[in-house]
Amino acid sequence: MERTFLMVKPDGVERGLIGQVISRLENKGFRMVAMKMLRISEELAREQYAEHAGKPFFDEMLSFMTSGPVVAMVWEGRGVIQSVRRLMGATDPAQAAPGTIRGDMGTSISRNVVHGSDSPAAAEREIKLFFDSGEILA
Ligand code: CDP
Ligand code: MG
C-alpha cells in the first residue's frame, strides 16, 4: 500500500489547524499510520528541504520551519501521494484553489500550513527521515 509523509508546519500548529488537516485526509478515506509532534532541528530541516538549498527563500524557510513545533505524519492509501498533493493545493495559497488546505487556510507562500511528499522517492526519503520503522503502526 502506498504511503506518504505529511507535516503540519509551525503556522498550522500555532493557529490550531492540526485537527482540520487530519480531518480532510480522514474524510477522503486515507489511514494515518504514524504521527508525532516535534520541534525540528536546523539539521533536519536542511535535510528535508535539501533540494531547495541555495534558493533565495531557503534561509528564511529554515528559520520558520524550526521556529515552533510541527506535526509529522505517515498516511497510507491507494494513490495517497498525488491525492494528498491535490488536497493540499498549490504552493502559494493565493493561487491554491478554494477547497484545498492551502487555498482555505494558507496565509502566504512561506506560511502555507502543510508539507506533503511530491513523489514516491520523496515519500520514502521523508518517512525515513522522521520515523523509525517501528513507529509506523500498519
Ligand atoms: O511545498 P511544495 O512542494 O508545494 O513547494 P516547493 O516548491 O517544494 O517549496 C517548498 C516550500 O518552500 C514551500 O512549501 C514554501 O513553504 C517554501 N517556499 C517559500 O517560502 N518561498 C518560495 N518562493 C517558494 C517556496
Ligand atoms: Mg516540494
Supply the DSSP symbol for 102: H
Distance between start and end Cα atoms, the chain: 10
**Residue 138 pLDDT:** 79
| Under-70 pLDDT residues of the chain | none
Distance 119 CA to ligand 2 centre (A): 9
Torsion of CA 84, 104, 59, 85, to 10 degrees: 10
Tell whether ligand 1 has an atom less than 6 A from the beta carbon of residue 57: yes
Closest ligand by atom to 101 CA: 1
- To the query of whether residue 115 is one of the catalytic residues in this protein, the response is yes
Tell whether ligand 1 has an atom less than 6 A from the beta carbon of residue 90: no
CATH number of 3-135: 3.30.70.141
Q: Is 109 exposed, middle or buried (0-12, 13-18, 19+ CB in 10 A)?
A: middle
C-alpha cell at 22: 487530519
Q: Which of 12, 115, 123, 127 is catalytic?
A: 115
CA-closest candidate to residue 11, choices 2, 3, 1, 21: 21
How far apart are the C-alpha atoms of 24 and 5, rounded to whole Å? 15
Q: Give residues with Cβ within 8 angstroms of 122, minimum separation 6.
A: 5
Q: Would you kindly state where each structural domain of the chain is located, as residue ranges?
A: 3-135
